[in-house]
Chains A and B, each alone.
Chain A
């Protein structure tokens, strides 16, 4: 089976869905690029080239470059979704949520409920998350916990190319608004990805690694850091089970609980800030529903409660590391009442 990067997997999912369904459009800033310049059209294909080539195949009616206008992009995509299109709208960096949140959480997310179940809003918002690229405080956050907290939104946080393609196709075919969070440092990460379209259901965690001693629940880039930590720990005789929820809303509660019941220990790894986030949410879930299975208190490994710093040395400290993850695992394994 061919190996593809996350960038290729997302591009392929978009192209295949656009071929399958003429209602699917891509809209956002520089999704093609080069309009009204002396240079070439489709010179960008998204700031990191994820939508490159779609313009050539589908043209400007379906690959729609917009002004720098996040509120209008999100609102127009929501309005279009409620009236017959299936837009994939790009919110370049999730940090830009600040200038368009109303259109997402007050409008798109609430149509169906407010309108008594009559609206369908098949909207996908693709957005970049993650620190580690020296992009500083306003271009590096991982804000999926905000999307996750809004009833009416679904939130996808893939960690590999196979999942990215299957979950994006599922998102496009889903009739609800879905926020699809792509880590900006992971686009070149490759794995085997079928050429055919396929869908991965939401709310189904992946067991990335099986182990007996500790359950690690991790998202996005933290899945890979957790795997690194697990390799180190295996040499020490500690076997980690790594659970990647893949979607934070809906959340595969059963899958997480099943693993914790098996291992009795839980470490949650989240690149986002610690307050009111996924780590808290999952820790609360386990405390509530699997307390009896726990041999140690759940441990959270997150970013500190600070904005993302710029200096590379500080940024490195900000992001949870395999060493910190391994340290947390050792702590829960050693814990004695």
Chain B
């Protein structure tokens, strides 16, 4: 499928935004000022963007602890995300969620999730809403190679098949569950095949290739919209940073990471592909990069200067009604 120039520009802008955002969060984290810890998505951009380009704000996604990329791809406001990561009052969640709980229900973003395997049942629920209320929308559960071994994920896969729900399970296999290699912790060595065992179509795609992801996600999402039930996609991808910011990464060498950045960069691959095919000009892409860089500059400056939540916020929003 040939993508329109607008779609390509949008895809690149989103991937570039995620990359700039994550590189900068890493920098700012190192400088100090960001509380807690952050899990960075750089390297996996094609997965979030290739999938979410098929979604409208009425469709839902449920994300992972590594959720910045999904949030940006699903349309969350980048400046308010940065405010949230800094724990600020004007953050997307009022400074009460932080990096691991960025959510924007208005954009169909059901939340990053601090619990590995926490999200798939929630996405099944969003799909149940869609089906029961006849909304014609779909839900996507992002999880990783680690989450693929959680019981909640297995239960979610089965329930989605049993109820024939419009949900897509995206397994982002970035090769590590924290510091453990996926070939150790995925017993069968094949996440897609394991998902298929639940009775749903499952494919494996190269996450370095935006176009492959986009095509596979498009098929699965169209299938869900047509009422044909759930699907699964295993996306073979890489993470450029450690499990979390500050991870010493003793499980892999610096050289290996440099090599990954050189050979398995989905954004570089995208640039090469679209410029070689003369779909976009290099100047188009560079222009986007510049705009994104200044957006992130602005977001960081603003977040650093912004006030924290008021003390009273400690006690609010536990319940809708007390």
Direct A–B touching in the complex (beta carbon < 8 Å)?
A: yes
User: Are B96 and A72 interface neighbours, CB within 8 A?
Assistant: no
Q: Is A151's CB within 8 Å of the partner chain B?
A: yes
Interface bracket on A:
35 or more
Say whether A80 contacts B321, CB under 8 Å.
Answer: no
Q: Is the CB of A72 within 8 A of B128?
A: no
Flag if B152 contacts A103 (CB, 8 Å): yes
Interface of chain A, helix or strand or loop or mixed?
Answer: mixed
Are B156 and A72 in contact, CB atoms less than 8 angstroms apart?
yes
Does B278 belong to the interface (CB within 8 Å)? no
Which residues of B from 279 to 322 have beta carbons under 8 Å from A?
A: 316-322
A73 to B152, CA, bound (A): 10
In-complex Cβ contact of A102 among B95, B105, B118 (8 A): B118
Chain B interface size, under 10 / 10 to 19 / 20 to 34 / 35 or more: 35 or more
Residues of B within 8 A of A186 (CB): none
The answer to the question of B121 belonging to the interface, with a C-beta cut-off of 8 Å to chain A, is yes
Residues of the A chain whose Cβ atoms lie less than 8 Å from the Cβ of B316: 117
Interface contact A75-B120, CB-CB below 8 Å: yes
| CB of B114, distance to nearest CB on chain A (Å) | 7
Q: Report B's interface with A, CB cutoff 8 A.
A: 60, 62, 91-97, 101, 103-106, 110-111, 113-115, 118, 120-126, 128-133, 135, 139, 151-152, 155-156, 158-159, 162-163, 316-322
Q: Which residue of B lies closest to A27 (CB)?
A: B128
Q: Given the interface contacts A79-B123, A84-B129, does A174 sit within 8 Å of B118 by beta carbon?
A: no
Give every chain B residue within 8 A of A112 (Cβ-Cβ): 317-320
Alpha-carbon separation in the docked complex, A61 to B319 (Å): 29
- Cβ < 8 Å to B, chain A residues 45-77: 61-62, 64, 66-67, 69, 71-77
Beyond A75-B122, A79-B62, whether A113 also contacts B317 by CB under 8 A is yes
Residues of A within 8 A of B155 (CB): 67, 69, 71-72, 75
Give the docked Cα–Cα distance between A78 and B103 (Å): 15
User: What residue of chain B has the Cβ atom nearest to residue A66's Cβ?
Assistant: B159
Whether B133 lies near A113 (C-beta < 8 A) is no
Q: Is the CB of A79 within 8 A of B97?
A: no
Least CB separation from A202: chain B residue? B321
Please determine whether A118 and B105 come into contact, CB atoms closer than 8 angstroms.
yes
* Separation of A43 and B161 alpha carbons in the complex (Å): 23
Please indicate the chain A residues that have their CB under 8 angstroms from the CB of B156 in the complex. 71-72, 75-76
- Nearest neighbor of B124 in chain A, beta-carbon distance: A76
Q: A69–B154 Cα gap in the complex (Å)?
A: 10
Q: Within the complex, which residue of B125, B133, B158 is in contact with A81, where a contact is CB–CB below 8 Å?
A: B125
In the complex, A139→B275 CA distance in Å? 65
In the complex, the answer to whether B159 meets A23 with C-beta atoms within 8 Å is no
- Neighbouring A residues of B135 by C-beta, 8 Å: 84
Inter-chain contacts of A85 with B (CB < 8 A): 125, 128-129, 132-133
Residue on A nearest B314 in the bound complex, by CB: A113
Specify which chain A residues have a CB less than 8 angstroms from the CB of B130 in the assembled complex.
83
Q: List the A residue with the shortest CB-CB distance to B108.
A: A83
- Chain A residue with Cβ nearest B60: A83
Which residues of the partner chain A approach B94 to less than 8 Å between Cβ atoms? 116-117
In the bound assembly, the distance between CA atoms of A106 and B93 in angstroms comes to 16
